[in-house]
Amino acid sequence: MACMKFAPRFPGGGHNPLYADWQKRNPRLGAVLALFLQREDGLHILLTERHARLRQHAGEISLPGGRSGPEDCSPEATALRETWEEVGLAPEDVEVWGRLDGVYVPPSNFLVLPFVGRVLQAERLSPNDPEVQAIIELPFATLFDGQATGSFIDDGGRLIEYYGYGPYRVWGATARILNNLAEAVGQPCEDSHLV
């Protein structure tokens, strides 16, 4: 079973039926890194803000990562390569601990494989990619704060839940991955979100 909290819900409360049979759709693979940073005020998760001028996902908040390429020997290699390109962390600047369950994204037909780890060389962080406008450090405690969540109705009438942090809204696949990370360390999934 997968927790569907933060997955868009159609009017009437249902989820996209494509979630149920995603394996039959032969999704493209992508990989991201959910990286912990230790700061004086506690643990943070590294996020990126995509440039507002992009055609796709403009201004959205995401985890560093992207599409698997022919040069990648594994999904983990994809996540490490993309992280280096986007935020300047070389593979040796990161310690990968493991992988969470994949998250299927129906609009793009991607299966995103999230890896978890920590940043070893935080001073090397720099938005290096033309896609990345800024680096955001989300306090890990945000994932456990019910006051940090909200929702809105998108142009298609779907209910979109998000994590709020300052001026940022973290929603979609990124919010689902962060919720899965919170569950991995003990946050329970509500029965109404299980499928």
Q: What pLDDT is stored for residue 194 in this prediction?
A: 52
Q: What pLDDT is stored for residue 110 in this prediction?
A: 87
Average pLDDT over residues 51-57: 72
Q: Higher confidence at residue 53 or residue 163?
A: 163
Q: What pLDDT is stored for residue 18 in this prediction?
A: 67
Looking at residue 88, the DSSP 8-state letter turns out to be: -
The three-class DSSP label of residue 123 is: helix
- For residue 35, pLDDT beyond 80: yes
Asked whether the beta carbons of 75 and 113 are under 8 A apart, the reply is: yes
Q: Higher confidence at residue 20 or residue 168?
A: 168
Average pLDDT over residues 90-99: 96
99-143 residue pLDDT tens: 999 998 888 888 999 999 999 999 989 998 788 999 999 999 999
Q: Higher confidence at residue 11 or residue 55?
A: 11
Asked whether the beta carbons of 78 and 72 are under 8 A apart, the reply is: yes
| Percent of the chain predicted with pLDDT > 90 | 58
7-27 residue pLDDT tens: 887 777 777 776 777 777 888
Token output for 116: 């978890």
Looking at residue 125, the DSSP 8-state letter turns out to be: -
Q: What pLDDT is stored for residue 37 in this prediction?
A: 96
Is CATH 3.90.79.10 correct for 26-143? yes
Q: How confident is the model at residue 193 (pLDDT cuts 50, 70, 90)?
A: low
Q: What pLDDT is stored for residue 165 in this prediction?
A: 96
The chain-wide mean pLDDT, for the chain, equals 88
